[in-house]
Amino acid sequence: MKKIMISLLCAMALFADESVLSQQKQETLDLKRKQIEQDTDAAMKSWISPLILSLGITENKNSLNNNSELQNATLQWNQDLFRSGGIGYTIEQSKANGAANLLGVDIQESTYLKSLYTLKVQIERDKLALMQSQLTLKNSDIDLLMTKAKYKAGLSDLSQLNQITLSRDTARTNLIVVKNTLESETYELKKLIQGENTDAIKIPAIELPSKEEYLAKNLELLQYNKQDQATQMAWKNKASSYLPKLAFNGSYGYSKNSYSSAYSSDFEGNAYSYGLTLSMPLLDVNANALMESAKLQYLQTKSQQSDRKVELSQEYEKHINNIHNYDEKVALAEEMIKMYDELYDFTKHQVAAGFKSQYDLESLQNSVNIQKLDKEIQNYNIVIEKITLYFDTKH
C-alpha cells in the first residue's frame, strides 16, 4: 500500500511533461484544435466583405465592319458598416462557437486519458486479483487434500468432498478469467499509449474534487455554457437582420476604349463611385417564425444544460457513494487481517505442539495475504472513481 501511495504522490508531473497518448491520437487532437482556431478566426471576420478586383477585355465588331476594344480594371467594395448590433453579435457568436468546439476536443482528449489511466489502474488492481486468485486456489488445493485424507479415514462424507472439489474448480476458473481480463486490458491500453511498454505509464495523483468544484469545472457544462452564448447571439443576430442596416458601396476603375471607326473617338481614363445605403426590411412573412425559432433553440440549449447539470450532480453522488463503499471494504479487510493474524499466531503454537498441521498454518497465512491484497484492490477501486471525476473536469 505504501508503494501505491508513493506512486500516486509522485506521478502527477507527467501531465505537464508530455502526452502519454499515442502520437497519432495526440496529433489528431492538435490538428483539430488548429482547425477550430482557423475556422473561428474566419467566422469572426465573416462580416467583412472582400475587396474585389475585376479585369476585362472585350472585342466587338458590328455589321458595318467597325471594330472596338474595351479594356477595364475595377476595384469594388460593398461593406456593411452597421447592422443594428448584428456585427457584434456575429463576432460574439463565432467566439462562443469556437470555444465550444475547443471544449469538445478537450472532452475527447479527456475521454482518452480517462480510459488510459482507468485501464492502467485496472491492470495494477487485477495483477493483485491474480495473486489473490492464486492464493485462493492454493487454499482450495489444501482443503481438497485435507478433505480427501479425512474422507479416506472415514471422518468426512462424499458430499463434503464434492463440495470442496467444486470450490477448487471454481477457483481455477476464476484464475483463468482474471488472466484473460488482464490480457484484454493490456491490449486496450496499448491502443492508447505511445509504444508497447504499459509499465512506463505511471498512475497520477488524483485529488477528489468537491461537488461544487466538479460542477463548476465540468467540461460538458462548460461546453453547454458556450453553446448557450452562441445560440443567444444567433437569436439576437436574427432579430437584428430585420432592423436598419447601413452599407458602404464604392468602386474605382480604369477603362480604355479603342475604335477603328472615324466616327467614334477613343477613351482612356479613371472612374470611381461611392455612396452609403440605408436599408431595412419592411415586410417578411417569415420574420416572426424565424426569430421565434432562434429563441427556442437558445431556450432548448439552456434547458439541456440544466438537465445535464442535475444528471452530473447525481453521477457525482454515485461515485462518492462508491468510494464510501470501498472504504468500508478496506475497513472490513483490516478486521479480517486482524482476525486471521490472531488465528495464525494461535495455530502456529498448535502446530509446534503437534495439534495442528502445517497445512492449517499455510492456509491461514494465505488467508491473511488474500485480505491484504483485497485491501489494496479496494484502494485501487477508489482511485478509479477519482479518475472518473478528475477527467470530467477542466484543469
* Local mean pLDDT, 10-residue blocks, the chain (395 residues): 39 50 93 97 94 83 62 90 93 96 97 96 97 96 89 84 92 96 95 85 89 96 96 94 94 78 63 92 90 94 95 97 97 96 93 89 95 97 96 93
Task: Pull the grid cell for residue 331.
Answer: 475497513
Task: Pull the grid cell for residue 146.
Answer: 485435507
DSSP type of residue 199: G
Task: Pull the grid cell for residue 106.
Answer: 478537450
Residue environment code for 324-349, b if the CB has 16+ CB neighbours within 10 A, otherwise e: eebeebbeebeebbeebeebbeebee
First CA to last CA across the chain, in angstroms?
A: 28
CA distance 147 to 155: 9
Q: What pLDDT was estimated at residue 260? A: 59
Decide: 3 and 203 in contact? Cβ < 8 Å: no
Q: Mention every residue, 6+ apart, whose C-beta is less than 8 A from residue 225.
A: 305
Q: What pLDDT was estimated at residue 336? A: 95
The residue written with cell numbers 491490449 in the block is: 187
Q: What pLDDT was estimated at residue 265? A: 58
Q: Mention every residue, 6+ apart, whose C-beta is less than 8 A from residue 73.
A: 53, 54, 55, 56, 253, 254, 255
Annotate 71-124 with three-state secondary structure.
EEEEEEEEEEEECCCHHHHHHHHHHHHHHHHHHHHHHHHHHHHHHHHHHHHHHH
Task: Pull the grid cell for residue 391.
Answer: 477527467
The residue written with cell numbers 430585420 in the block is: 242
β pairing state of 52-61 and 267-279 = unpaired
Query: Counting beta carbons within 10 angstroms of the beta carbon of residue 291, is it exposed (0 to 12), middle (13 to 18) or buried (19 or more)?
Result: middle
| pTM of the model as a whole | 0.85
Beta strands in the chain (DSSP E): 52-61, 67-82, 245-259, 267-279
**Beta-bridge partner residues of 251:** 76, 273
Q: Which H/E stretch holds residue 144?
A: helix 86-152
Q: What pLDDT was estimated at residue 197? A: 86
Q: What pLDDT was estimated at residue 15? A: 42
The three-class DSSP label of residue 248 is strand
DSSP 332-355: HHHHHHHHHHHHHHHHHHHHHHTS
Helices (H) and strands (E) counted in the chain, each on its own, are 9, 4
**φ and ψ of 281, to 5 deg:** -65, 130
Strand order in the sheet with 52-61: 52-61, 67-82, 245-259, 267-279
Please give the angle made by the CA atoms of 371, 373 and 377, to the nearest 5 degrees.
Answer: 115
Q: How many CA atoms lie within 13 A of 20 on its CB side?
A: 24
Decide: 68 and 264 in contact? Cβ < 8 Å: yes
Query: How many CB atoms are located within 10 Å of the residue 385 CB?
Result: 21
Decide: 174 and 208 in contact? Cβ < 8 Å: no
Q: Which CATH superfamily is domain 2-49+73-391 in?
A: Outer membrane efflux proteins (OEP) (1.20.1600.10)
The residue written with cell numbers 415586410 in the block is: 283
**Helix pair 287-353, 358-391: axis angle to 10 deg:** 160
Q: What pLDDT was estimated at residue 110? A: 96
Decide: 14 and 20 in contact? Cβ < 8 Å: yes
